[in-house]
Every structure is written in C-alpha cells, then in structure tokens.
Amino acid sequence: CSASQIMNYAYNNYVKTFLGFHEGFKKNVIVKELEHTFWNKNDINNKLLLFKSLKNSNLPEVYEIFDEYNKIYIVMEYKNAITLKELTNIQKQSNEQIIKIMLQICDALSYLLSKEIIHNYLNEDNIYIDISKKVFITDYVVPMNNNKILDLANEDSLSLRKECTKIDIENLGKILCFLCEGKEQINS
C-alpha cells in the first residue's frame, strides 16, 4: 500500500484514517495512522497477532501493521458502508431497525472488551452500516497493555478496563438518541 495511493478518509485527534488500494491484495483497504505514543514499536507483531485473532462479523479484519515514517500503520478490511450519521440523514430508521443496530453495536463492544481491546470513541461518525444493515465498528485500535490502557480523555492517566464504563454507556445512549431523533444530543 503506497502513500501516493492513499487519500485522506477521516481524522480525529488520535488517529488519522485513510482509504487506500493495497497492491498485494488487489483491493481497497482502510489505513489507520497512529502516533508511536500508542504502542511500543517493538510490540507490533504481538498487536498484529492479537488483531488477526479477532473473529467478529461487526469488526473489519486487520491485514497488516507496520512502522514507517515514525508512525504506526494498521491496514484493515474496507467495508462498502456509510456512517450512522449518513444513514440517518438519508432515512429515518424504524424502531425495530434501531434495536437491531444497537444490538450489533453492543455485541461488537462486548466482544472487544472480552478480548481486552477498547474502541477509540463510539459515535455516529465512526460506526458504519452496509446495504444489508450490517454494522461495523472501525475504531478499535487501542489495545490494552498489561491490562492498562491510555485514558484518551486524560493522556496522563492509566485505567483498568474489562467492562463498559460510564462513558461507554453515555456514548451508547447518545448513539441511540441520535438514531431515534436524527440529531446529536448536547446533554448527557
């Protein structure tokens, strides 16, 4: 996957995400660029093995992880899908469909936590859904290290995480409200 073939796809303060074409696989891929502060670069093979072991239909497959230009890159399966925000802008979802979407999100979140991996930040912009209404979580790039992870809201602190936190529940509630109301909720 060469840098000239990658175009900017999405960005947040912690991770840059690009859409690219992988010449070896002959298909589109998502490439996530992380700062070295997230991982020890010597631990890349362990992270790749961990990500390759994930088997959940709501998570794109991770193909490779490499270190270049003082950054960590994660190459993962591209899903032809739209964000929940885009979906809601196109069409209001029925209560039944909202329940199906939320159950898939909860299943993926539960699976990640059971493997001691966290999501970056759950919201309607980084959860995708395809034409068959299959949900995909793509921001699961911050694995725990010895049961400790960086608290992204407070970069100086470490926290133990094996179950949903108050923030996870609030984020799930905001996603549910967004799906029901079609707009972001300002208050928790």
pTM: 0.75
φ/ψ of 145, rounded to 5, equals -125, 110
pLDDT digits 0-9 by tens, 84-130: 999 988 888 999 999 999 999 999 988 888 887 777 678 888 899 99
Q: State both tokens at 132.
A: 């068959």
Q: Please state, for a pLDDT cut of 70, what percent of the chain lies above it.
A: 72
- What is the maximal distance between C-alpha atoms in the chain? 47
Strands 158-159 and 149-150: antiparallel
